[in-house]
Amino acid sequence: MVEYDAKSWFGLIFHMRGAVLPRVLMRMAIVAAIGVAAALLFERDGLYVPPFGHTMVGVALGLLLVFRTNTAYERFWDGRRLFATIVHHARDFSRQASSYLHDDEDRRLLVRYMKLIFVLLRQHVRRERDLARLGDLCTDEERAALEPIACRPLMAMRWISDRLGARADAQLLAEGRLRMLDAHLSFIAECLAGAERILTTPIPFAYAQHIKAFLALFCLTAPFAMVQTMGWATPIAAAIVAFALFGIDEIGVEIEEPFGYDANDLPIDALGEAVNRDADQLVATPRLSRPIA
């Protein structure tokens, strides 16, 4: 995710990482070239298109683009909210497991499994399957068990439930504490379903196709509608219009699936590092000899 200073006006304008300009530059050049052709035809033959039609449909196009961008941002914000909830429950599970389980092996194992769940969630929403990247979060036996599983985070949650259930059966974990720990897994599973909803429900094809066709038709014909007024400034004016409209559409495309590696995607890797750091610190910190007064 791009980090920037919102108060640096010029720095923000000229910051290129994550900007849409490189992605729409070719389309701007095509529109500018059409603007040159429109200026030549107008100068030679007086050919132009009355601007009334573009004035009328421009309002409808603007509303469509605003709706498109708002829909994409809702998906982006929903993804951020879901991962914030996952981080919260991962941290709180690590806190409770470190306090409620008295066996050091249990504490370290369950915290490792929680860290593993977050990494598997990250791979799942990115449609990745390379278990070698899990490193020491996973043993060879666990890696072999995960290999054929379609939704791997659920299997890691199952391992935690098995361990907690065994400790509860052996009277080493109170039933109330078992329910508290297991509730975190249920919330994480719910967030996983929410992330899958974003992944498997793209913008409807008919809407995406129509708005792009409408946008292309408007921008490619706009030079002929403005040439009577703009003259030889038409190529520049048309390129600016193309930058504005194509850029708004491209922003929607950029953020509608927020779990990848693009500059404008969510900082999932940084969130995972925070979960790992906090979990490791919780499980490594020795218990106090007596409660703090």
pLDDT for 99-124, tens place per residue? 898 888 999 999 999 999 999 999 99
CB under 8 Å to 113, separation ≥6 — which residues? 156, 159, 160, 163
> Model's pTM, two decimal places?
0.88
Query: How large is the average pLDDT for residues 245-271?
Result: 92
pLDDT for residue 8: 80
CA distance 192 to 184: 12
Q: How many residues does the chain have?
A: 293
Considering just the CA atoms, what is the radius of gyration of the chain in Å?
27
* The residue to which tokens 């790992």 are assigned: 276
Question: In the chain, how many H helices and how many E strands?
Answer: 10, 0
The answer on pLDDT for 7 being more than 80 is no
Using the predicted structure, report yes or no on whether residue 86 has a pLDDT greater than 70.
yes
Cβ-based neighbours of 102, under 8 Å, separated by 6 or more:
172
Which range, of 43-47, 69-73, 174-178, 231-235, averages the lowest pLDDT?
A: 43-47
Q: What is the DSSP letter of 119?
A: H
pLDDT of residue 168 exceeding 70, the answer is yes
